[in-house]
């Protein structure tokens, strides 16, 4: 497990190393906002005991959100949510077989009582999950709230500054 800080508030987990291509977009956003996080590969199917231990210890270790990316059957976010009260933000990773629709449906169709906040397929979903995690932390973490406000203001300013598509 790697971390950008000694006391991570967000966990970024993925079902396999190949999911990093997508999940790095969550890490980049968290870095830009100054959110401490950790990164780990946790497979729901290949390392279920590791998954259970990670989920069960997440809250006690100080995690306030888990961003979980998975492709294909995409059981990782739901299984994490079943084993922890820490909010799980699910990111469907685009797959070759069904272009990520299988992942999206696996994550979004959770039974009542085991919620997973589900985001868009792919890079945009990973980035938005990170922004959502930052927004969740902002009320108690003033620096993160200020960084998020600056990000949003810059995003708005960038659109206004280039509002003529011919230029």
Strand runs (DSSP E) across the chain, as ranges?
2-3, 10-14, 37-41, 65-70, 88-92, 117-118
Q: What is d(CA 55, CA 83) in angstroms, rounded to the nearest whole number?
A: 6
Beta-strand relationship, 10-14 and 65-70: parallel
Q: What share of the chain is helix, strand, coil (3-state, %, to 5)?
A: 45, 15, 40
**16 a known binding residue?**
yes
**46 a known binding residue?**
yes
**106 a known binding residue?**
no
Q: Which residues are annotated as a binding site for substrate?
A: 16, 19, 46
Q: Which residues are annotated as a binding site?
A: 16, 19, 46
């Amino acid at each position: 497990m790697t971390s950008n800080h000694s006391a991570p508030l967000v966990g970024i987990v993925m079902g396999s190393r190949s999911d990093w291509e997508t999940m790095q977009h969550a890490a980049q956003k968290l870095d830009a906002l100054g959110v401490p996080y950790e990164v780990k590969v946790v497979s729901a199917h290949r390392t279920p005991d590791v998954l259970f231990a990670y989920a069960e210890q997440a809250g006690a270790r100080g995690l306030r959100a888990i961003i979980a990316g998975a492709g294909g059957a995409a059981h990782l976010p739901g299984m994490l949510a079943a084993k922890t009260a820490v909010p799980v933000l699910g990111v469907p990773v685009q797959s070759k077989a069904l272009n990520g629709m299988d992942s999206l449906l696996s994550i979004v169709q959770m039974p009542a009582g085991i919620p997973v906040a589900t985001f868009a397929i792919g890079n945009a979903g990973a980035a938005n999950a990170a922004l959502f995690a930052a927004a969740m932390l902002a009320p108690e973490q003033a620096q993160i709230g200020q960084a998020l406000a600056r990000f949003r203001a810059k995003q708005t300013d960038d659109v206004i500054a280039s509002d003529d598509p011919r230029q």
